[in-house]
Amino acid sequence: MPSNFNLSDGIDTINLSPGVEEIKNWILRTLSELTGTDQSKIEITEPLATLGVGSMDAVALSGQLEVWLGRELSPTLVWDYPSVGALALHLASDLGPSIEIQTRGKDEHPNRFAVRGEIY
């Protein structure tokens, strides 16, 4: 890294991938809204089907996760990982620790880079 490099120069945004706790809490809030079940009553190890989550709800949840995470997910993801805990753990491990820094170049076109595993 050049010695005259200042991390704050030209940075528009810094985005960190969410961790397992943040993903779990997001899923709990969303399931609570979808099913009308109080968040505190949702067991993270129980199959989502015990909450009455059907195929339409599962696809909706997958779609909302896709938008929130900003990446394409399988519509069958909720069936592949059928509990809050399993789903959150899978998504967090699949995303891995990462950071995306969007900078402004001299030509004002954004340059993007991501560092996986280590945050610098």
**Residue-wise pLDDT tens digits, 20-65:** 899 999 999 999 998 999 999 999 999 999 999 998 999 999 999 9
Question: β-strands 110-116, 11-16: how paired?
Answer: unpaired
> Do 44 and 4 fall into the same domain?
no
> Do 106 and 50 fall into the same domain?
no
Domain boundaries, position 28: 19-96
Question: Got the DSSP string for 40-87?
Answer: GG--TTSBGGGGT--HHHHHHHHHHHHHHHTS---TTHHHHS-BHHHH
CB 84 within 8 A of CB 42: yes
For residue 113, list its beta bridge partners: 101
- Torsions phi, psi for 23 (to 5 deg): -65, -45
Task: Work out the average pLDDT over 6-24.
Answer: 65
CB 48 within 8 A of CB 30: no
Q: Measuring CA to CA, which residue among 43, 88, 41, 38 is closest to residue 61?
A: 88
Q: Measuring CA to CA, which residue among 73, 74, 114 is closest to residue 97?
A: 114
> Do 11 and 50 fall into the same domain?
no
User: Position 30: which residue type?
Assistant: T
> Do 40 and 88 fall into the same domain?
yes
Task: Work out the average pLDDT over 90-98.
Answer: 69
Domains in the chain, number: 2
> Do 27 and 82 fall into the same domain?
yes
> Do 79 and 109 fall into the same domain?
no
Residue 7 scores a pLDDT above 90: no
Please write the tens of the pLDDT for every residue from 73-82: 988 899 999 9
Most confident of 63-67, 90-94, 113-117: 63-67
pTM to 2 decimals? 0.65
The share of the chain scoring above pLDDT 90, in percent, equals: 42
Q: Is the dihedral of CA 86, 87, 92, 94 positive or negative?
A: positive
Structure-token pair, residue 73? 């997910």
